[in-house]
Amino acid sequence: MIVALAGGVGGAKLAQGLMAAPGAGDLTVVVNTADDFDLFGLRICPDIDTVLYTLGGIANPETGWGIAGDTFATLDALAGLGRDPWFRLGDRDFATHIHRTERLREGASLTTVTAELATALGIVATVLPMTDDRVATVVETPAGALPFQDYFVRRRQADDVLGVTFEGIERARPTAGVEAALAGAGLVVFCPSNPIVSIGPILALPGARDALAASPAPVVAVSPIVGGRALKGPADRMLATLGSEVSPLGVARLYAGLIDGMVLDDQDADKAAAIEAELGIATLVTGTVMGGFESRRALATRVIQFGRSLVPVGSGRT
C-alpha cells in the first residue's frame, strides 16, 4: 500500500497520479484538515474536498479546487442578502458541505463522512482526514493573527507570514486509520504540498512523527519548490519569511530525519548534491511540474520506482 500525505491542489494532482500508476497497488491519502473552517453554518474542508474532487475526476481544471462547471446561484443569492461572497462556494460544492455538516451533527466522524463522500464519487483510493479532532491554522502577520482562510483567500496571501500555529494540535490525535495506514505502508509519499501549512500540520500531530519513524516503509518527498518558486500558493514567501532557504534543500531540511528520499525538479539539479551530502537523503532529479492526467501518472510512476529502490532508515529515523 502507498500512503500519500497531501494538502490541496498539488497534493491532489500527485495523489491522482499515484492512484493510476501501473503496479501502484492500494492508495491511502492522508489529508490536512487544519485549513478547515465554518462558513454560513457549514463545515468546509477545502483540502479534503480538493482531493476528493480530483480523485473523483470532477475538479475544476482551472482552479484545481471546486467542481468543474459548478454554478454560483446560491452564493449570489447570499450576496444579495448582504453576505460577503469572498469564499467561492459553488452550488454543487454546497451540497458536499451541507451533507458533511449534517452528518457531523448526527455524530458521524469526519473520517466516516469523508469515506461516504469518496464512495459517492466512485473513488477507489482511501481518503483519510489526518485527524477527527479540530485543528485550525493561525497565521501570524504584521496585521495580527489571521485564521488561515482569511490570510489565504480573503487577503490573497498578501501579508508577510511571521509565524504559523496550529490551534488545538496538542489535544488532537491522528486517527486509528491513519496510524494503521502508516504501520502497513509499503511506501510513504509527501506530496508537493506546502511543507509549512499543508504537510506541517500532519507532522505536528502528536504521535505522527513516531508513527512515521516506526513505519517499515521508505519515505519520499516531492519538492513543491521548483526553480526558487512555489508551483502554487505562498510556500515560497512563507519559507523565506520563516527563515528557510527557498529551494528543495530548504524543504528537505524541514523533513530531515523523516524522509529517505527527495524528488526535485530538473531546474534544481544543482541542489541534489547538498541534499545528499548534508542530510544523507537520496535524490531523484526529474521533471516534477504536473499538468494534465498523463503527467501526473508519469511523475507518480517515477516517484514509486525511486521510493521502492530506497532502503528505509526505519527505526533510525527520529
* Binding stretches for ligand FO1 (CB under 6 A): 7-9, 35, 46-47, 49-50, 65-66, 87-89, 93, 149, 152-153, 198
The percent helix, strand, coil of the chain (3-state, each to 5) is 45, 20, 40
For the chain, the distance separating the N- and C-terminal CA atoms, rounded to the nearest angstrom, is 23
We find the least distance from the C-beta atom of residue 67 to ligand FO1, in angstroms, to be 9
Return the amino acid letter for 224.
Answer: P
We find the least distance from the C-beta atom of residue 84 to ligand FO1, in angstroms, to be 11
Nearer to ligand FO1, 126 or 198 (CB): 198
Nearer to ligand FO1, 58 or 153 (CB): 153
Nearer to ligand FO1, 49 or 159 (CB): 49
Q: What is the largest CA-CA distance in the chain?
A: 60
We find the least distance from the C-beta atom of residue 58 to ligand FO1, in angstroms, to be 12
Own/partner pairs, 80-84, CB within 8 angstroms, 24+ separation: 83/40
We find the least distance from the C-beta atom of residue 36 to ligand FO1, in angstroms, to be 9
Nearer to ligand FO1, 49 or 265 (CB): 49
Q: Which residue is nearest to ligand FO1 (CB)?
A: 8
Return the amino acid letter for 271.
Answer: K
We find the least distance from the C-beta atom of residue 66 to ligand FO1, in angstroms, to be 5
Specify whether the CB–CB gap between 197 and 34 falls below 8 A. yes
Distance CA(21)–CA(17), nearest Å, equals 6
Nearer to ligand FO1, 35 or 132 (CB): 35
We find the least distance from the C-beta atom of residue 224 to ligand FO1, in angstroms, to be 11
How far does CA 176 lie from the centroid of its chain?
A: 19
Three-class secondary structure assignment of 161-226: CCEEEEECHHHCCECHHHHHHHHHCCEEEECCCCCCCCHHHHHHCCCHHHHHHHCCCCEEEECCEE
Nearer to ligand FO1, 85 or 184 (CB): 85
Nearer to ligand FO1, 66 or 129 (CB): 66
Which helix H or strand E contains 230, and what residues bound it? strand 229-230
We find the least distance from the C-beta atom of residue 51 to ligand FO1, in angstroms, to be 10
